[in-house]
Amino acid sequence: MRLLALGLLTLTTMVVDLAAAARTKVDLVNLTPEIRPGEKALIALRYRCDPHFHIYWKNPGDAGASPTMEWTDKAGTKMSDFIWPGPQFLDQAGVSNFVYEAETLILIEVAIPADKTGTFTLKGKAEWLECDDKGCWPHDALVELALKVGPGNPAQKYEAKLYPALRPALTTNGASDGKFLTVELPAGRKLSAMWFPERNFITPNATIKQKVVDGKMTFELKEATETLIAGPVRFTTRSEDGGFVDINVKLEGSTPKGASSGSADVHKGATGDWLPWSPEAQAAALADGKIVYVDFTARWCATCQVNKRVYTQEDVIKAFATKDIVRLKADWTKKDDIIAKELLKYGRTGIPLNVILRTGQAPAILSEALTGTEVVEALNAVSAGKPYQVSTTSHSFWSWLLLAFGGGVLLNLMPCVFPMIGLKVLGFAREAGSSRRTVVLHGVLYSLGVIFSFLALAALIIALKSGGSSVGWGFQMQSPGFVLGTCVLMIVLGLSLAGVFEIGTGLAGTAAEADDKGGSWGAFFSGVLATAVATPCTAPGLGAALGFALDKDRSTPATLLFFAVIGLGMALPYLFLSVFPKLAALLPKPGEWMETLKQAMAFPLFAYALYLLWVLNALVDDAAWVRDASLGMAVLATACWVWGRWGAPHRTDRERLYGKGAAVVMFVGTLGYLYAGLN
C-alpha cells in the first residue's frame, strides 16, 4: 500500500507545462483563385514545424494525437472533413509514429452557397500536438481566412498528387486469420514497400516488417490496439510518380466491421444479436432508417456488467424486437481511440454510456445505472419521435460541482466499493472504545487518502491527455499490469482477513487491526485503496460530471477541483460517522462477531479477484499467459500461507527465517514471472 501511495504522489508531478511556446506555426490559406457560387473551393490548414518537430497523421501510430479544427464561423458555407496528405514514418527510441515535418497542408473542401456574394471570413480554432525527441506539447490557435466570391483570391500552391483522397484508389483482395493479414499486390503498379494503415489493426512497428512473397504482402496483427474482425481496410502508400495512393482491401467473406452490406445483417442486429460497433456500422444502420442502440461497455467496468441484467428482462427483449432496433456494442475493454473520440461527442470521458440514435433526432442518453423501465421508456420515446433525457451542458458550474459531489457519495453504493465496506465496518467497531480524538483523526486521514488519490488520478489523466492519449475515467483498467496488480492485492488482503497470515501493523488499518500510529497510516492507505477499487464503477450522474470536468476547455485547476469534490463526496459518509461516533454506537459491541465478519469479508475480495482475472482474459490475447496467471494466483496464495504458518511468532528464529525466506522467493518469483510475460 505504501508503494501505491508513493506512486500516486509521483503522478501529481506529471502535469505537462502547457505554457510552453509553440514551435509550430498554423494558419488558414486559400488554394482556389476563383471562388464560384454553388461550387466547392479548396482551403488548407498550413502547419509549419520548426526543425526536429513534427505533428501527426490521421492515424498517429503508437502515440500522439491528430490535428483537429473547431469552426467558430463558417459564414454560411459547409466544410468537409480533412483531406490528408500522405505521411512519413518516424521511429523515436522504439516509439513509432506516422507524422508530418516541416510544412504541411491539410486540405478542406468548402461548399459555397449558390447565392453567396461579396467577401466572407472563415474562423476557427486549430488544435494540434507537436513533439520532438524531448517531449510533446498540445497547442491551439485561432485562425481565420478572408475570401471573396469571384476571381482574384491569393492562392497557395500545393501538390495534388500528395493527397490520395484526390486520386483514384486501388482495390485489391485480402484475407485475415486473426494473426496475419495477407493482401494481394495490385497488378501492374510499382508501389512503395511502406504501407500506412488508416486503422490501428496493425502497429506502426509491423508496417516496417511487411513481407512480400509470391505477389502478396503479409502484415502481422500481433499487439495491435484494434482487433481486425472485418473491413473497411485501407492503406496509403507512395506510387511510382512520387505521390500517394489509397489501397482499399476487400477482405474475403467479410463486410465492414459491425456494418451491413444489405438488410440481412441489419435485421440480425435488430432481432437479438449484438453487433460490434464502428462508425461505419452506426452510419449504415441509421442510413437504413433503423433506430440504433449503442452500448459503450468494457469488461473492467463493473457498472456496465450490472447494467446488462436489463437486457434479459422480457419487456426489454420485446421492445428491442418489436421496434426493430439495431444493437451495437462498443467494447472499450482495450484502449481504442475511435471509441474514446465517440464518447467525447456525448460529453463523456468514461463508461458506462448507453445511447439511442435515430436520424433527425437528438441522441437519447440513458442513465449510468440502467433499469429495464428506463430502456423501454426511452425506446418508446425515440420511436415516437420524442426527445428523451437528451444530454445538456446548460447547467451552471456549481450545478455540475454538486452533481460531482453526489456522484462521489453514491460511489459507496457501487459494486466496486463493496469489498471495502466490511473493512470500514470493522474499523468502526474496533474504534468504538477509542478516544474521540482518535476516531476523528482516522476519519480525516481516510478522507485525505481518498481526496489525495482522486487528485493524483486527475493529474495523471491531465498529463496523459496533454501528451495525446485518449484516456478517461477508469483508463488504468485497460492496462493488464494494473489489473494484475489489483488482482494480487485483493487476494493478499482476502487471505489476511481469512486469518491465513497477518499483513502487519504498518498496514493494519486495512485489516482493522491497528495500534494508534499504525491505525492512522492504515486509515489513510485504506482511503487510497478504496479509490483504487472504485474507478471501474460510475455512479448515477457521475459520468456526465466527469465529462464536464475533463472537457478540453476546462482549466487544470477546475478539473482538479472537480476530482477533489468527487473524493470528498465518497469520503463523506465515513467522515460523518467519525465526527458523530454515537452513530457508530448502533453497531454491536466488539466481540466474536467481528472475527466472523472479518473472515466473511474475505470472500467479496476473492470474488473481485476472480472478476479481475476475467478482465485479464479479455485484455491479454495470449491464452497461455492467462493460464499461467490463474495458476500463479494459487502459488501466491501458497506463499502467503507459508508466511503465516512458519513465520508466526511462536516459531523458532530458524523456522521464521526459512519460512519467510521461502515465502518471499515464491511470491516475488511468481510475480516477476507473470509481469515478465505480460506485454
DSSP string, 615-664: HHHHH---HHHHHHHHHHHHHHHHHHHHHHHHSSTTS-HHHHHHHHHHHH
- In this structure, what C-alpha cell is assigned to residue 549? 470536468
| DSSP 8-class letter at 69 | E
Per-residue confidence (pLDDT) for residue 423, from 0 to 100:
64
For residue 10, what pLDDT band results from cuts at 50, 70 and 90?
Answer: very low
Q: How far apart are CA 92 and CA 81, in angstroms?
A: 29
Residue 518 has pLDDT above 50, yes or no: no
3-class DSSP string for 521-568: HHHHHHHHHHHHHHCCCCCCCHHHHHHHHCCCCCCHHHHHHHHHHHHH
* 347: amino acid identity, one letter: G
Lowest mean pLDDT among 295-304, 582-591, 637-646: 582-591
Asked if residues 51 and 496 have their Cβ atoms less than 8 Å apart, the reply is no
Residue 49 has pLDDT above 90, yes or no: yes
Q: Which domains does the chain have, with CATH numbers?
A: 14-158 (2.60.40.1250), 165-251 (2.60.40), 263-383 (3.40.30.10), 398-482+497-600 (no CATH)
Q: Which alpha helices (H) appear in 79-164, and where do they start and end?
A: none
Q: How far apart are CA 363 and CA 382, in angstroms?
A: 9
- CA 294 to chain centroid: 17
Per-residue confidence (pLDDT) for residue 503, from 0 to 100:
65
Residue 530 has pLDDT above 70, yes or no: yes
| DSSP 8-class letter at 35 | B
Query: Residue 272: left (phi > 0), alpha (psi -120 to 50), or beta?
Result: left
Long-range contacts of the stretch 587-595 (C-beta < 8 A, 24+): 587/425, 587/428, 587/429, 587/432, 588/429, 589/432, 590/429, 590/430, 590/432, 590/433, 594/426, 594/429, 594/430, 594/512
Per-residue confidence (pLDDT) for residue 254, from 0 to 100:
43
Residue 220 has pLDDT above 80, yes or no: yes
Lowest mean pLDDT among 247-256, 506-515, 596-605: 506-515
Residues 131-169: tens digit of each pLDDT = 888 778 888 899 999 999 999 899 989 999 999 988 888
Helix axes of 516-534 and 436-466: crossing angle, nearest 10 degrees: 40
Query: Residue 94: left (phi > 0), alpha (psi -120 to 50), or beta?
Result: left
Per-residue confidence (pLDDT) for residue 429, from 0 to 100:
58
Mean pLDDT within 481-503? 85
- CA 136 to chain centroid: 20
Q: Which residues pair with 172 in a beta bridge?
A: 249
Per-residue confidence (pLDDT) for residue 86, from 0 to 100:
92
- Going by C-alpha positions, the residue among 447, 463, 476 that lies closest to residue 559 is 463
Q: How far apart are CA 417 and CA 537, in angstroms?
A: 8
- Average pLDDT over the chain reads 80
- In this structure, what C-alpha cell is assigned to residue 501? 497470515
Per-residue confidence (pLDDT) for residue 43, from 0 to 100:
93
State how beta strands 244-251 and 170-176 pair.
Answer: parallel
Q: What percent of the chain has pLDDT over 90?
A: 19
Mean pLDDT within 286-299? 90
| DSSP 8-class letter at 80 | P
Per-residue confidence (pLDDT) for residue 476, from 0 to 100:
78
